[in-house]
Amino acid sequence: MTVIDANRMHEIETRYPEYFHRSFRQRFGGLMILIATLLYSLYAVWFFDLPKLFTEAHWERVGIYLSQWVSYDVQPEFRIEGDGSIDIRYPRFSPLGDNPHPDWLVNNPDGSITVSISGTSRNVTVSKSETIVTAHGISVPVDVSSGAPKVVGPVPGWMTVYEDNVLADLGFAGNVSISVDRVKIRKRFIGWANFIFDTQSSFFDKPVGEVVSLIVSGPRIKPDQSNLSLAFDDIWNNSEWQHGDVWTKLFQTIVMAFLGTLLGSLTAFPLAFLAARNITPNRLLNQILKRFFDFLRSVDMLIWALFLTRAFGPGPLAGSGAIFLTETGTLGKLYSEGLENIDNKPREGIKSTGAQTVLVHRYGIMPQIVPIFVSQTLYQWESNVRGATIIGAVGAGGIGLKLWEAMRTNANWENVAYMVILILIVVFIFDTASNALRHRLMGTKTH
């Protein structure tokens, strides 16, 4: 056991004062950060009134919207005529086409009609005098023979009785609205209806084998056009999913991001040399260009897009211009900072040989900065693919505008899901490609 005397202890304290005489910040800095974070969190809860926000939020809409992303519904309407007959009608743009005969709708011998909502456990039987709803293990008759619909027996929790209407909520499977002279049924299906061929297509509602046979060796449906060409036209011009327009807008978004980033990098590159203090020893010019870069990037891309759509009208030109202005500022700042951090020894060595300025830049600076500049540009390009989607929503063209139009209707959530998936795929592809190129340029391995 080693004993340290007072002199030795004083010597150690003198040599390492940072360990024995710590400042207030060093001793209580962590605790102060924790307290500040807690106080800020409490302030945020009060400022945004989070308890009220969570209490009044319409959480049920989340489930509704998500279900509409991955499903579609068919809405037959049964009208009870004066002679007791039942007339079946479908909406004008029904997913089943103009002459539907679904197998889940059965005409019974007694004149009633049974609709299977979800297998045999949930169904509705419509007759001239009553409608019977079967769900959750029970059957509930609703009398429609008098002036207002009336539930016979106790009303279950999944039924709501109004003055002139009875609503039966059958969960994800759908719902039933019953009045005296009509019954409206909403039946939900998993999947996307008519994603390949719409109801106007010659191939609509045909089995896959029959479609393939027609395309490969079947007789021409239209004498002046091959079946393969006709099938492609029907898919591309699908009126419900608008594949042609969606893919065209997606390509516009990619071109906007590429063109805006390319022009921004080409503009920022020479300006960065003038803004770098160690390359251009003119403090006034350095400061003017750096403040110019700050101005361009401080105005958000969305704001630039709003300005340019007012100037040039809606379209991809405004989107490309917004990305160009933002990227000139962002890349100009990154490029100039990269130039200011280079190793000056290669540059000074080449300059000592009497080489011209262009050659000094070419051999003393470019080998150091090109991998970094390309890496930064690729990252910005990848980011702008996502940004171009957002600015499209304000009229700058591309798939963003198409996405906003589908969301605004509040009824085409399956189309929204389709476009979101396409955007995710494109972003994933560009992210993977740019990462691979950056690692290749920087000489690092991907994992």
71-126 pLDDT, tens digit each: 999 999 999 887 778 899 998 888 888 888 888 999 999 889 999 998 778 999 99
Does one domain contain both 363 and 436? Answer: yes
- Which pLDDT band holds residue 19 (cuts at 50, 70, 90)? low
Q: What is the mean pLDDT of the chain?
A: 86
pLDDT at residue 2 is higher than 90? no
In a domain, 232, yes or no: no
Q: Output the pLDDT for position 178.
A: 92
Q: Examine residue 206 and state whether it is found in any structural domain, yes or no.
A: no
pLDDT at position 228 = 92
Mean pLDDT in residue range 21-30: 72
Which of 168-172, 330-334, 441-445 has the lowest average pLDDT?
A: 441-445
* CB neighbourhood size of 275 (10 A): 27
Contacts of 413 (CB under 8 A, 6+ apart): 65, 68, 69, 406, 407
What is the residue whose two structure tokens read 């989340």? 62
Q: Are residues 286 and 398 in the same domain?
A: yes
Same domain, 87 and 41: no
Q: Is 341 among the domain residues?
A: yes
Which domain covers residue 340, as residue numbers? 243-442
Q: Is residue 220 part of a domain?
A: no
Specify whether 149 is located in the same domain as 40.
no
Please give the pLDDT value at position 18. Answer: 62
Between helix 301-312 and helix 316-340 the angle, nearest 10°, is 140
- Tokens standing for residue 382: 């990848």
Q: Is the pLDDT of residue 338 over 90?
A: no
Percent of the chain with pLDDT over 90: 34
Q: How confident is the model at residue 397 (pLDDT cuts 50, 70, 90)?
A: confident
Whether residues 170 and 282 fall in one domain: no
In a domain, 221, yes or no: no
Same domain for 299 and 426, yes or no, is yes
- 149-165: per-residue pLDDT in tens? 899 889 999 999 998 89
Output the pLDDT for position 186.
92
User: Does the global pTM surpass 0.75?
Assistant: yes
Tally of domains in the chain:
3
Same domain, 174 and 267: no
CATH number of the domain within which 363 lies: 1.10.3720.10
CA distance 192 to 171: 19
- Mark whether 51 and 97 lie in a shared domain: no
